[in-house]
Amino acid sequence: MQDNNHQKGSSIGFIAGIIAAMLTTGTVVTWWAVHTLTNSTDTPTPTESPVSQPAETEQRGQVYWLDATGDRLKLEETPLTLEKSLTDQQVLETAMKDLLSGPEGSENDTTIPSETKLLSLKLDDKGVHLNLSSEFTTGGGSASMMGRLAQLLYTATSLDENAKVWLSIDGEPLEVLGGEGLMIEQPMTRQWFDENFEL
C-alpha cells in the first residue's frame, strides 16, 4: 500500500516537474518571440525625402534695351520673371545687374560699357539710389550717353514710373555725363529725361 502511494507520489511529482519545465520553456519562448517582434517593428522604415516645390514666380520689373535698327535709338522693355518672395530692392538689383551684363540676343542693343559695375543700390521712401563704377561715363558721343542714361533711368524706375533716382559714380554724385557735357539733375525722373533729352 505504501509502495503504491509512493509510486503515485513519484508520478505526481514527475508530472508536476514536466509541467513546470514546459511552463518555464514556454515563458522563455514567449519572451524571445515578443522581443524579436518588438525589435523588428522598432526598426525605422526609410522615408522618402520630400520633393521641393518650385518657387512661385511673377513678372516684376523690366530691363530697358535699345533698338538701333532705325535712324534713331528707341527704348525696348523686357519684362523680368522673378520669384514672388523677392523684395522690391532685390527686384531692382536683379534688373540692374541684367542691364549691366548686356543683352543676350542680337535683337537688343545697349550703349552702356560692358565693364560698368553696380557698386550699390538702395531703395527707400525717397527713391532709388544708384552707385556705378566710372566705366559708365566712358566712350561714345551724346547719342550714346543719352541712350545709356535712358536705359539706366527707365530700368531703375520700372517698379514705379514716378520714382526719383539719384546717380553716383564711384560714390560721387554725377553732375555732367560724358565729353559732350550732358547736365544731370539730381534726382532724375522719367519726366525730367523726356523734357530734356531725345533719343
DSSP-derived pairing of the beta strands 127-132 and 165-169:
parallel
pLDDT at 72: 83
CB-based contact 144:151 (threshold 8 Å): no
pLDDT (tens digit per residue) in 75-111: 999 999 999 999 999 999 999 999 999 998 778 899 9
Distances, alpha carbon 129 to alpha carbons 15, 118, 161, 166, 189, in Å:
100, 11, 15, 5, 12
Euclidean distance between the first and final Cα of the chain, in Å? 136
CB-based contact 113:136 (threshold 8 Å): yes
pLDDT at 53: 73
User: Is 0.85 topped by the overall pTM?
Assistant: no
3-state helix, strand, coil in the chain (%, to 5): 40, 25, 35
Checking if the pLDDT of 174 tops 90, the result is yes
The residue count for the chain: 199
Q: Please report where in the chains the cell 550714346 appears, as a residue.
A: 144
Under the banding of pLDDT at 50, 70 and 90, the label for residue 30 is: very low
| Radius of gyration for the chain, computed over Cα atoms and rounded to the nearest angstrom | 41
CB-based contact 187:127 (threshold 8 Å): yes
17 or 74: which carries more pLDDT confidence? Answer: 74
Average pLDDT, the chain: 82
pLDDT at 68: 81
Checking if the pLDDT of 6 tops 90, the result is no
Can you tell me the mean pLDDT for 166-193?
94
